[in-house]
Amino acid sequence: MSTLKFSFLFSIVFFLFHSTRSTIPACDKRYCGNSELQQLFEFPFLLREENHFTNNQSDRCGYPGFEIFCNNKNQALLTLSNSREFVVKFISLERRRVWVNDPNECPPKRFLQNIFLNNDSPFQLDNTYHSNYENVTFVNCTGFTKEPMIHDDDFIIPCLSNEKYTIMYTLQSPIDLWINRSCREIGFAMVPVKDNSSEPRVIMEGLYSDILLRWNKPLCDCAADQFCGFETDTGLDVTCYDYNDFNQPGGNPSNPRHKNMYFFPVVWGISGALFFIWVIVSICKDRRQNHIQQNQTITNIESNNGEPPWFVFGLDRSRIEEYYPKIQVAESGQLPKSIDNVCSICLSEYKPMETLRSMPQCNHYFHADCIDVWLKMNATCPLCRNLPE
């Protein structure tokens, strides 16, 4: 009789344990590659690893259309509606923006392969940071030989060229000066630039710039101590959750039940506790020696309830101030010669009295507010990936 009671007790405790865990978040924050150097992915983005389906997250861990695949090169790839893959460079959940670029290290190729986004895509091209454009014509110069009077190297696009042909760009239309060079037009595009100087350096920066995408849905305006997730088991409505409400720090709910998440575990816990006491008393009356075995079993079950810690790698405020000093733009707006006049993160020009932060290991500069957000998640320079010395 006591053996039957013990088996029944074990089944009830095991059921309560798993029924309670079913509402605990199971969507960990994930990285593609080394967590110290790579971008952190969380809702609405869903990170999947190619050829590792057992480690992949549930579909409810991300919003439809926000799937990101981590390939064997530790590149986080986002597939747009035209089936082209782009490597994710940076994500801003607060601004609902994602910066992407060509995975083969040839960004100018995208201007020859028009990017189009279907109406069902959650993303739209964002030109917020580009107010100037240049009408660029691309030409294929097969068998082209340089003329010494013209600086042709400034117009050659290396990643599109090879030993058999040379791909170049020109701002001239029609391309009269190129016809006698065995060149033919292969395409044209409006290239975003930071100014209208038409200098080769400015055009080349535009050709190699990241693509900025934005999304309007899902809309999660969560506080700093909250994260976004689906509101129910089904549907696409989202809501904000407090990190402290979950046993697993930093987790997103895979099947959150915001209203009954706390009610059912409490009810089942109280009922289970009362039943547990009754069965223990009954077992002690029949066979006291089972009491030790019972406690050991319960201890083993409870010990399995631990969750692995999570870590976010970056620099805290004190280390940011220690490694990366600040400077202030003069009232005249004059900058040191070594400083570019544009922040590479927000693509805005530096203005008088603005505060910049320098990267001593590589001599790069950014707006202090822009680079501080980056350094809290990544301890490297966003341009050259150098670590602080």
Do 174 and 115 belong together in one domain?
no
Do 13 and 36 belong together in one domain?
no
Do 112 and 166 belong together in one domain?
no
Among 303, 330, 364, the domain-final residue is 303
pLDDT band at 323 (very low <50, low <70, confident <90, very high): confident
Q: Give the integer Cα–Cα distance in Å for 376 and 310.
A: 16
Q: Give the integer Cα–Cα distance in Å for 370 and 343.
A: 8
Query: What's the pLDDT at 311?
Result: 41
Asked whether residue 200 is domain-assigned, the answer is yes
State pLDDT tens for residues 246-281. Answer: 544 334 454 444 444 445 566 677 888 888 888 787
Task: Identify the bridge partners of residue 167 per DSSP, sorted by sequence position.
Answer: 140
4's tokens: 């039957």
Residue range of the domain that includes 354: 317-375
Pairing state of beta strands 46-49 and 67-70? Answer: parallel
Asked whether residue 138 is domain-assigned, the answer is yes
Do 34 and 97 belong together in one domain?
yes
Contact 357, 292 (CB under 8 A): no
> How many CB atoms within 10 Å of residue 256?
22
Average pLDDT over every residue of 50-62: 66
Q: What's 359's domain CATH number?
A: 3.30.40.10
Residue of 180 and 60 predicted with greater confidence:
60
Do 34 and 121 belong together in one domain?
yes
Do 103 and 142 belong together in one domain?
no
Q: Give the integer Cα–Cα distance in Å for 263 and 297.
A: 27
Asked whether residue 73 is domain-assigned, the answer is yes
Asked whether residue 6 is domain-assigned, the answer is yes
pLDDT band at 297 (very low <50, low <70, confident <90, very high): very low
Among 125, 141, 163, the domain-final residue is 125
Query: What's the pLDDT at 338?
Result: 64
Do 119 and 136 belong together in one domain?
no
Residue of 117 and 379 predicted with greater confidence:
379
State pLDDT tens for residues 202-234. Answer: 888 888 888 888 898 888 888 888 888 888 888
Most confident of 23-32, 88-97, 245-254, 308-317: 88-97
Query: What's the pLDDT at 107?
Result: 84
Asked whether residue 370 is domain-assigned, the answer is yes
Q: Give the integer Cα–Cα distance in Å for 356 and 369.
A: 8
Asked whether residue 160 is domain-assigned, the answer is yes
Asked whether residue 299 is domain-assigned, the answer is yes
Task: Give the max Cα distance, the chain.
Answer: 105
Average pLDDT over every residue of 192-199: 76
What SS3 state is found at 201?
helix
Do 90 and 36 belong together in one domain?
yes
Query: What's the pLDDT at 50?
Result: 60
Q: Give the integer Cα–Cα distance in Å for 85 and 69.
A: 10
By C-alpha distance, which of 205, 208, 188, 182 is closest to 137?
A: 188
Do 99 and 178 belong together in one domain?
no
Average pLDDT over every residue of 17-33: 56
Asked whether residue 220 is domain-assigned, the answer is no
Do 118 and 192 belong together in one domain?
no
Query: What's the pLDDT at 249?
Result: 37
Average pLDDT over every residue of 142-160: 64
Number of domains in the chain: 4
Do 49 and 119 belong together in one domain?
yes
Q: Give the integer Cα–Cα distance in Å for 174 and 163.
A: 26
Among 102, 125, 148, the domain-final residue is 125
